[in-house]
Amino acid sequence: MTAPLDDPAALARPSHDMSLETRPNDAVRGGGGDGFPGDGSCGPLPGRRRVVRLLATLPLLRGPGSALPPGAPVRLTPLADPAIPANPFRHGTTLLVAGPVEGPTHRWAQLVAPALARGLAPGAAITLSDVGGQDGVTAANQFGARVSPDGRTLLFTPGAAVLAWLAGEPRVKFDVGGWVPVCAAASPAVLMGSFAASSLRDGAVVRLAVDRLPGPGLAGLLALALLGGVPRPVAGLGPTAADAALLRGELDAVLLTGEGVAARAARLIRAGALPLASFGPTDAAGVSMRDPEFPTVPEVAELAATLYGHPPGGPLFRAWRSCAAAAQLGFGLELPALTPAGMVALWRQAASGAVRQPALAAALTADGLRPLTGAAALATARTLALDMPGLLALRQWLSTRKDWHLG
C-alpha cells in the first residue's frame, strides 16, 4: 500500500510500491523510456525523486500562479493554524477564579486580568467568574469537566487546589497533570522553630501549626518527617495566632508561606525564633537552591545532607517537592489540555508582558511573590504534576496518620 504523499514518513523511507519506484536497472516503459513522455535523456528515476519532481509542478504549493518552471526552487507557503481564528478573542475570554470570593486569589485575578488583556489582541476583554469554595477544588472540577479547549476560558487557582489533588481528597475530580501552564506566582517558604535543627536527628516531636489539612501545612509536616522529626499538626491556627503560639511555647514550629513572608520571619527572629530550613525555589532544570530571601538558611535537601550525610530521595521526597511547590503557589493561570499550541503561545506571550507592567510588578514585589513565566512556569508545572509512584507514596504516608483528620 502506498503511503499518502502528505505523510512525512513516506519521503523518509524506501517505497515497496512499484508504481512509484522502479526496480534497479529496469527502465520504465512508455514515452522516452524513463517515465517522462518525450524525454529520453535520462534513465529511471528513484521513486522519491519522482515524487518531489511531481510536487514541484503543483501550483498549490506556491500560492497563486502557474506551475513552477523546470529546475526552479520550491518555496512552501505556511498555512495559518486552522484552530485559531483571525481574531480569537473577539467574543471575550473568561478566567474561572478559584477559592473564596473576595479572597487573595480574587484580588490577584483583578490585578492580573487587565495586565494580560493589554498583551492580547486590541479590544480583548477578560471577564472574571468567581466560582467560590474554600480551596479552589470546586472551580478546578468545573474547569476539568466543562471547559472546551479553545483557549478562551482559563483557570486562576491557588496552590490549595493542587494540594487537595496531591492528598487524594475525594472531592477532587480533576488531574493537575492535564493543565497547560501559562504563568504563576510563588512565595518564599521557611520553617521557623524554637529548637535547633540538629535535634531532628533524635526524632524530636514537633508541634506544627496548620490552618487546615490538606493545605500548605502538609508540606511542612512532610518536610519534618523527612528530616527525622515526628510531626504533630495543631490545626485551626491562622498566621497571627500561630506566630503568637510559637513565641508562647505552645508550638514548636510554624511554616511561613504566602504574602509577606520575609517581614513575618524578621519579626519572629527578633523575638527569638530560629529559621530551620527553607523550601527554596527550583531552577528550570528542577534543581533546588537556597531561597534568595533567606540566603543563610539551608534548603530542606541541603539540611538533610548536613544531618545525615546524604540528601533525601525516592518517591516520598518527590512528593514533598510537589507539596512544597504547591504550598508556595500564590496563584497559577492554566489552560485546559488539548488547547491549540498557537493559543497557548498567545497567552504565554501576554503573560510575559503582563508581569513587567508597573502596577502588577509593584504589587508582586510588595507581597514578596516571584512571577513565574516561560521556562520557570513550565518547571513549576512539572514539579506540581507528581508522578504515580510519588502520589501513591504520599497517600500511603497520609493513610497511616488517621488522627490528622484530612479534609
pLDDT digits (tens, 9 = 90+) for 235-248: 889 899 999 999 99
Fold of 190-326: D-Maltodextrin-Binding Protein; domain 2 (3.40.190)
Average model confidence (pLDDT) for the chain?
A: 83
Crossing angle, helix 341-354 and helix 374-384, to 10 degrees? 110
C-alpha 257/C-alpha 220 separation (Å) is 10
Task: Please answer whether residues 41 and 59 qualify as being in contact, where contact means their C-beta atoms are separated by less than 8 angstroms.
Answer: no
**C-alpha distances in angstroms, 162 versus 64, 138, 219, 230, 388?**
52, 12, 12, 25, 15
Provide the Cα torsion 222, 228, 234, 236; round to 10°: -20
pLDDT in tens, 29-61: 344 443 334 444 444 444 555 544 544 444 444
Task: Please answer whether residues 49 and 14 qualify as being in contact, where contact means their C-beta atoms are separated by less than 8 angstroms.
Answer: no
Domain ranges of the chain: 93-187+328-391, 190-326
Model's pTM, two decimal places?
A: 0.79
pLDDT confidence bin for 92, thresholds 50/70/90? confident
93-187+328-391 classified as CATH 3.30.43.10: no
Same topology between domain 93-187+328-391 and domain 190-326: yes
Task: Please answer whether residues 216 and 240 qualify as being in contact, where contact means their C-beta atoms are separated by less than 8 angstroms.
Answer: no
Percentage of the chain with pLDDT > 90?
67
Residues in CB range of 46: below 8 A, 6 or more apart: 21, 22
Provide the Cα torsion 110, 279, 276, 249; round to 10°: 40
Q: Locate 28 and state its grid cell.
A: 520504465
pLDDT of 61: 42
DSSP state of 78: P
